[in-house]
Amino acid sequence: MSIWGTANLLRARDGREAKVLSAELFFDLVYVFAVTQLSHHLLENLTALGAFQTLVLWFAVWLVWQYTCWVTNWFDPDTMPIRLLLFAIMLVSLVMSAVLPDAFGERGLVFAVCYATMQIGRTLFVVFHLGCHHALSKNFQRMLGWLCISGAFWIAGGLAAANYRLWFWMLAVACEYLSPMIGLWLPGMGRSQTQEWTIEGGHMAERCQLFVIVALGESILVTGATISHMANWDAPTLIAFLVAFVGSLAMWWIYFDTSSQACTDAIVHSKDPGRIGAYFHYTHVIIVAGVIITAVGYELAIAHPAGHIDTKSLAVLIGGPMVYLFGNGVYKTVVYRLFPLSHVIGLTALAILIPFAYYTDQLMIAGLTTALLIVAATQESISRRRSQHSRRAE
């Protein structure tokens, strides 16, 4: 029996689709701030090392959200203990997000302690609630073991000198991101099977979609904030502003043209819904990373529309849309079992653009990449609707 007595905190599995609740939406607000902090960190450290550091921090932010998302898929956020758990994680996440820009500086230990506290504390709560005999108990016990291992690496990194910190935190991310791929196997504790992860497909799909909205919202905020700080609103600046806004619309179109029902069905009708749910999270980490990088590119284009293209600006102006298209392509392969032709064409066109980018300015490249995103979105939308009409005619 659980130490929580007869209180049942699990979601009811009554055959109806579990809805995303207001407590979960409120929880996500912290991650608007986290994504903004990450984009600013990348902009201020636009080097190979800075990009890699931002990537590690992004994985950390995503993993906290992802693991919490799985918990709220199983546990009911409308029950008071789970709601309080979410609010506690929210508070610590806010502190963690606040120190993100200096995570590789003087506040590394604060970041690491916040992160480890959330991951281990949340999982301990679940383990104590489930007790020893629930079907999910062993899975969360194995998860707790891996999070303790990764937590040790996070703390060690926080204590280490800056030149060693990245290595410790890379190991920590690898522990948490890769361990589910091997069933959370630990010596003496066995391995979890993805078939045991009895998730609610509609809830999982909607939670991922809402995080993409969070990321796209951050790109809109960056666009508005950047132009608001511009002293002179000349024609190139206003055009760059319009390009950034249209680019955000194109990214929304590319992602949300995949229907939520198709995403839900991909999980619900799978023989192994737990594995498909895991794939959703693995692919969305790429998609949101693409949004963050693209937002940085748009910020550069608005601030310096006539700026010369160098390798740093090229990496975000073209690299961001490429990462975003690739992530969406992999995601749609999970949903539809086919990598969209429109995304292949878009990725190819973006790659062809790279050698010519050095001969123009940032506004031109931002405009061309946005145009290619629109073309990809339009082509896929037309193709999908033709396919739907053909199926109905049959």
Both 212 and 359 in one domain: the answer is: yes
CATH of the domain at 342: 1.20.1410
Residue 236 falls inside a structural domain = yes
Least confident of 1-10, 179-188, 193-202: 1-10
129 and 109 housed in the same domain: yes
Cα distances from 128 to residues 7, 237, 285, in angstroms, run 12, 56, 30
For 207-225, the pLDDT digits (tens) are 999 999 999 998 898 889 8
180 with 34, same domain?
Answer: yes
Q: What is the pLDDT of residue 7?
A: 45
Taking only the tens place, the pLDDT of each residue in 30-49 is 999 999 999 999 999 999 99
Query: Does one domain contain both 40 and 180?
Result: yes
Residue 150: inside a domain, yes or no?
yes
Dist. CA 100–CA 98, nearest whole Å: 6
Q: For residue 17, tell me if it sits in a domain.
A: no
pLDDT score at 123: 96
Cβ burial 78-110 (10 Å sphere, 16+ → b, else e): ebeebbebbeebbebbebbbbbbbebbeebbbb
- What values do phi and psi take at 190, rounded to 5? 75, -160
Indicate the residue among 192, 222, 246 that finishes a domain. 192
Residues 364-392: what's their mean pLDDT? Answer: 85
pLDDT digits (tens, 9 = 90+) for 236-280: 999 999 999 999 999 999 998 866 677 878 887 788 878 888 888
Q: What is the pLDDT of residue 5?
A: 43
247 Cβ contact list (under 8 Å, min separation 6)? 219, 294, 298, 321, 366, 369, 370, 373
Cα angle for residues 109, 34, 315 (degrees, 5° grid)? 100
Could you give the CA distance from residue 247 to residue 254 in angstroms, rounded to a whole number?
A: 11
Residue 144 or 262, more confident: 144
Q: How far is CA 129 from CA 4, 6, 23, in A?
A: 6, 10, 20
Residues 124 and 207 in one domain: no
Query: Taking the complete model, does pTM exceed 0.75, yes or no?
Result: yes
What percent of the chain lies above the pLDDT cut of 90?
66
Mean pLDDT, residues 161-174 taken together: 94
Q: Kindly state the average pLDDT of the residues 317-330.
A: 96
Q: How far is CA 116 from CA 152, 175, 258, 284, in A?
A: 8, 13, 35, 22
Backbone angles phi, psi at 391, to 5 degrees: -65, -40
Same domain, 156 and 215: no
Position 99 in a domain: yes
184 and 296 fall within a common domain: no
Same domain, yes or no: 179 and 272:
no
Distance separating alpha carbons of residues 201 and 273, to the nearest angstrom: 7
pLDDT at 146: 95
In the chain, alpha helices (H)? 22-44, 48-74, 80-98, 108-130, 137-159, 162-178, 201-228, 235-256, 260-268, 273-303, 311-317, 319-336, 341-357, 362-393
Structural domain includes residue 93: yes
Count of the separate structural domains present in the chain:
2
d(CA 103, CA 90): 18
**Range of 312's domain?**
201-393
Residue 357 confidence (pLDDT): 92
Q: Which of 192, 222, 252 finishes a domain?
A: 192
CA distance 59 to 49: 15
Question: To the nearest whole number, what is the mean pLDDT of the chain?
Answer: 89
For residue range 118-136, list pLDDT tens digits in order.
Answer: 999 999 999 998 888 888 8
> Is residue 184, in this structure, part of any structural domain at all?
yes
- Examine residue 122 and state whether it is found in any structural domain, yes or no: yes
Residue among 65, 197, 62 nearest 140 (CA): 197
Q: Is 376 found in the same domain as 233?
A: yes
Average pLDDT for 280-286:
91
Based on the domain organization, do 221 and 133 belong to the same domain?
no
Q: Quick one: pLDDT at residue 390?
A: 60
Q: For residue 3, what pLDDT is reported?
A: 41
Model pLDDT, residue 261: 72
Q: Is residue 53 part of a domain?
A: yes
CA gap 222, 361 in Å, rounded: 20
Q: Token match 């490249």: residue?
A: 365
Q: Are residues 150 and 233 in the same domain?
A: no
Domain stop point among 165, 192, 219: 192
Q: Do 178 and 29 sit in the same domain of this protein?
A: yes
